[in-house]
C-alpha cells in the first residue's frame, strides 16, 4: 500500500449509509476499515480493506477501531424509523451516547486528524415543525433547543460534545444533519425501516387491487434524500473547511400520501391507501434549507425523488419476491415512448430498443396513408401474440394528446426525436417550426412533470444550435442559431435543462451533429446526392440540383448515434452530450466521394447550382468535440466520412436494381459483425 494513502474508518460500515460510503471511498482510492456489530447484509464485507466486528459501546473497542486511522466517519448508531425510535427512547439515547463519547476520546488518544459525525434533522426544534407547509429548516433552527424526544436530544447533545472536543483538544470535526436518507440495499422490514422503504415493501407485497396502510392522515410532509447524493455530500463536507453543523438533505417537500402515490405508480398496481391515525407520525412537517450547503460546499442533490424511488422500489420488490414470489408480478420489460419513430433516427432507435427487450411505443402523426416505410420491417399487427412495438397517433402541437399518451403508456423512457427537422424548410415555416420543435418539447416536459412518474427523458438537440460559433464546439460552447429550426432547438434544449434543474427530471440533451444513413430522407443533402448518383448511374436522371457546396459539416453514421441516445438514459445522473466524429467535410467533398465511388467521373458534369436551395443565413463550419461522450459514456464512432459515403451509395445503387461496388457493405460487415439493425 502507498504510504501516502489515507486510512479511513467507517463506523456503522455494515449499515445502510455506511456500506454505501465504504464503496464510495474505495472508488476514490482510500484504504478503508469498516466496523459494525454485523457484516453488511447487502454487500460483501471485503468491499472494505478490513472489516471488524466490534461493539463501540466499549471504549477499548473504539481504541482498536481507530488505531492507525487518519479520518473517521462516525455513522454507528442505534436507530430506525419513527415507530422504532419512539418505542425504545432510553436504549437509543444510552447506546448512541456511549458510542459517541467513546469514539471522541479514542480519536483524541489515537491522534485522528478529522472526524465526521452523522447527526439528524431530528435535532431541530419541534415547535418549528408543527405545520405541514413548513419553511425549510436552516441550521440555526436547532436553537432554542427542543429536539425530538430521545433520539433527537441525543443527536443534538453529541453535536455539542464533538464540538467541545474540537475546541478543547484540536480534533477537527465535521457535522452533517441528514434529512430522511433512502435508497436500495437498506432495511426494508422488521420495524426499523423508514417511510420510503416501508411503503415500498407494503406496495410490493400488496396484490393488485388491494390496499396498503399509511401511518397518519397522509398530509404530514418530509423531504427525502437519495443515498448516493447523501454519500457525495458527506464526502464533500468531510474534505471541506466548514466546521459548523450543515444540512445534507433535499429541499423538495412531499406529503406522505404523495410519497405513497409515487411508489404505487412505479409498481403499476391499483391500490387503495388506508390511513392509520393511531400510528406514530413524528413532527407535522420537515424540510431542509440547503442554502448554506450550496454556498460552502457547492453541493446539492442530483437524483430526483422519482428516480430514487424507482431504484429503491425495484430493489425492494426483488427482495420481497425472493422471500415470497407469490406476492409480486414478474418483472416487466422496460417501456419506451419514441416521438418521430417513423424518421431515420426513430426507426433505428426502435430497432435497437426492441433488440434489448423493450416494449416500444411510437408516436406518429395521423395521415390517410401510413408513412411508415422505415419501420415496416419491424412492424407487426398488434393483434398478433408477442408483439412489442405499437404505433400511437399523436401530435406535438396537442398538449392534451401528449399528456394522455404519457399517462396511459407510463413509459420508463421517452426519446423525443419528433420535429420539423429540415433547416432550409424552417425558413419557409418559422411559426410551425417554433411550435412543433420548441413548444412541442415543452409539452412533453410538462406531461412528464405532471404525471408524477420517474420517466427518463432524452431530447434531440442539434449542432445547428451553435450556428456561427467557431469550431470545434462542445457542451460549453455558446449557441448562435442561424435558422428558425436552430432557434426552436435552442428553446427546447434550455427547456430540457430547466426540467432537470427545477423539477429533478432525469432529462438529457443529445447535441447530435449531422448523422446520415441509407434511411435518411431524400431531401437532405447527403441522401439527395447518393440517391441522384444511383439514379444517374441507372439512366433514370441526368442532373442534380444543389445549393451551397462550401458548407462544412461533421457527418457520422446514424445507427451509432442512436446508441448514444440509449446510453445517456442508462447513466446514474442526467447530463448533456455532444455526439460527433470530430471531423468536418464540405458538401463538395461528399459530392466528389459519391460520384467517384460510383464510377461516374467528374461530378461537375451532372451538378447544377440552384439559388432556391441556399439558406437566407447559413452556417459555414460545424465540427464537434465529443470528448465528454468518450470519457463518460465510453462511446466513439467507428464509421469515418469516406466509409459513410460508400455505405450510402451502395444502398442507393441496390435500390435502383444495380450491383454496388460493395465496399460499403464490407465496411458494415467488418465493423458491425453483430449489428442489431436488419435492413439499410
- Residues taking part in catalysis: 462, 464, 485
Q: Which residues of 486-520 are buried (b: 16+ CB within 10 A; e: fewer)?
A: bbbbbbbbbbbbebbeeebbbbbbbbbbbbbbbbb
Q: What is the three-class DSSP state of 195?
A: helix
Contacts 24+ apart (CB under 8 A), 91-95: 92/150, 92/151, 92/154, 93/150, 93/151, 93/153, 93/154, 95/57
Cα maximum dimension of the chain: 94
The three three-digit cell numbers of residue 321, written as one number: 419476491
Distance CA 560, CA 556 (A): 8
Distance CA 356, CA 70 (A): 47
218 Rama sector, left if φ>0, alpha if ψ -120 to 50, beta otherwise: left
Q: What is the three-class DSSP state of 499?
A: helix
Phi, psi of 390 (to 5 degrees): -130, 140
Residue 92: Cβ-neighbour burial (10 angstroms; 0-12, 13-18, 19+): buried
Q: Which of 354, 273, 258, 287 is nearest to 562 (CA)?
A: 354
| Paired sense of beta strands 585-586 and 552-553, if any | antiparallel
Amino acid at each position: 500500500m502507498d504510504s501516502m494513502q489515507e486510512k479511513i474508518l467507517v463506523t456503522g460500515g455494515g449499515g445502510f449509509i455506511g456500506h454505501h460510503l465504504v464503496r464510495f471511498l474505495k472508488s476514490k482510492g482510500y484504504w478503508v476499515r469498516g466496523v459494525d456489530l454485523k457484516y453488511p447484509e447487502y454487500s460483501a464485507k471485503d468491499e472494505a480493506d478490513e472489516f471488524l466486528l466490534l461493539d463501540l459501546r466499549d471504549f477499548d473497542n473504539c481504541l482498536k477501531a481507530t488505531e492507525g486511522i487518519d479520518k473517521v466517519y462516525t455513522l454507528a448508531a442505534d436507530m430506525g424509523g419513527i415507530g422504532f425510535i419512539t418505542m425504545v427512547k432510553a436504549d437509543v439515547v444510552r447506546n448512541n451516547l456511549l458510542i459517541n463519547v467513546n469514539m471522541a476520546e479514542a480519536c483524541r488518544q489515537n491522534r485522528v486528524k478529522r472526524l465526521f459525525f452523522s447527526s439528524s434533522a431530528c435535532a431541530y426544534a419541534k415547535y418549528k415543525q408543527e405545520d405541514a407547509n413548513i419553511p425549510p429548516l436552516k441550521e440555526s433552527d436547532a436553537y432554542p433547543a427542543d429536539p425530538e424526544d430521545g433520539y433527537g436530544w441525543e443527536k443534538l447533545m453529541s453535536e455539542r460534545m464533538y464540538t467541545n472536543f474540537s475546541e478543547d483538544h484540536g480534533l477537527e470535526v465535521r457535522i452533517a444533519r441528514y434529512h430522511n436518507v433512502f435508497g436500495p440495499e437498506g432495511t426494508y422490514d422488521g420495524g426499523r425501516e423508514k417511510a420510503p422503504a416501508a411503503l415500498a415493501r407494503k406496495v410490493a407485497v400488496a396484490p393488485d387491487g388491494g390496499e396498503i396502510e399509511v401511518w397518519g392522515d397522509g398530509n404530514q410532509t418530509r423531504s427525502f434524500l437519495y443515498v448516493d447524493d447523501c454519500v457525495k455530500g458527506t464526502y464533500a463536507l468531510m474534505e471541506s473547511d466548514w466546521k459548523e453543523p450543515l444540512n445534507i438533505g433535499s429541499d423538495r417537500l412531499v406529503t406522505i400520501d404523495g410519497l405513497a402515490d409515487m411508489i404505487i405508480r412505479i409498481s403499476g398496481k391499483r391500490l387503495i391507501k388506508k390511513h392509520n391515525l393511531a400510528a406514530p407520525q413524528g413532527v407535522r412537517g420537515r424540510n431542509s434549507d440547503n442554502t448554506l450547503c450550496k454556498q460552502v460546499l457547492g453541493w446539492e442533490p442530483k437524483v430526483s425523488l422519482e428516480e430514487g424511488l424507482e431504484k429503491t422500489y425495484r430493489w425492494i420488490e426483488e427482495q420481497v419476491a425472493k422471500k415470497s414470489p407469490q406476492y409480486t408480478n414478474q418483472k416487466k420489460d422496460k417501456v419506451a415512448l419514441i416521438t418521430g419513430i417513423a424518421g431515420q433516427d426513430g426507426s433505428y432507435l426502435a430497432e435497437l430498443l426492441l433488440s434489448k427487450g423493450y416494449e416500444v411505443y411510437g408516436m406518429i402523426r395521423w395521415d390517410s396513408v401510413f408513412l411508415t416505410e422505415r419501420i415496416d420491417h419491424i412492424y407487426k399487427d398488434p393483434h398478433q401474440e408477442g408483439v412489442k412495438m405499437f404505433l400511437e397517433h399523436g401530435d406535438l402541437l396537442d398538449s392534451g394528446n401528449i399528456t394522455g399518451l404519457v399517462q396511459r403508456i407510463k413509459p420508463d423512457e421517452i426519446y423525443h426525436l419528433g420535429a420539423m427537422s429540415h433547416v432550409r424548410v424552417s425558413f419557409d415555416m418559422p411559426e410551425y417550426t417554433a411550435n412543433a420543435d420548441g413548444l412541442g418539447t415543452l409539452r412533453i416536459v410538462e406531461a412528464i412533470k405532471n404525471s408524477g412518474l420517474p420517466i427518463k427523458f432524452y431530447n434531440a438537440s442539434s449542432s445547428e444550435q451553435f450556428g456561427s460559433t467557431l469550431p470545434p464546439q462542445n457542451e460549453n460552447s455558446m449557441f448562435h442559431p442561424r435558422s428558425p429550426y436552430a432557434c426552436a432547438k435552442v428553446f427546447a434544449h434550455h427547456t430540457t435543462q430547466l426540467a432537470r434543474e427545477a423539477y429533478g427530471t432525469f432529462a438529457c440533451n443529445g447535441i447530435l451533429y449531422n448523422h446520415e444513413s441509407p434511411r435518411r430522407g431524400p431531401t437532405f443533402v447527403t441522401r439527395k446526392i447518393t440517391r441522384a448518383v444511383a439514379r444517374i448511374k441507372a439512366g433514370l436522371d441526368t442532373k442534380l440540383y444543389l445549393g451551397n457546396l462550401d458548407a462544412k459539416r461533421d457527418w457520422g453514421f446514424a445507427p451509432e448515434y442512436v446508441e448514444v441516445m440509449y446510453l445517456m438514459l442508462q447513466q446514474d445522473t442526467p447530463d448533456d452530450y455532444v455526439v460527433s466524429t470530430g471531423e468536418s467535410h464540405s458538401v463538395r467533398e461528399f459530392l466528389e466521394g459519391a460520384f467517384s465511388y460510383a464510377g461516374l467521373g467528374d461530378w461537375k458534369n451532372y451538378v447544377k447550382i440552384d439559388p432556391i436551395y441556399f439558406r437566407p443565413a447559413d452556417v459555414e463550419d460545424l465540427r464537434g468535440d465529443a470528448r465528454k461522450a468518450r470519457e463518460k459514456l465510453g462511446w466513439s464512432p467507428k464509421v469515418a466520412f469516406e466509409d459513410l459515403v460508400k455505405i450510402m451509395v451502395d444502398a442507393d445503387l441496390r435500390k435502383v436494381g444495380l450491383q454496388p461496388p460493395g465496399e460499403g457493405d464490407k465496411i458494415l460487415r467488418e465493423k458491425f459483425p453483430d449489428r442489431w439493425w436488419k435492413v439499410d
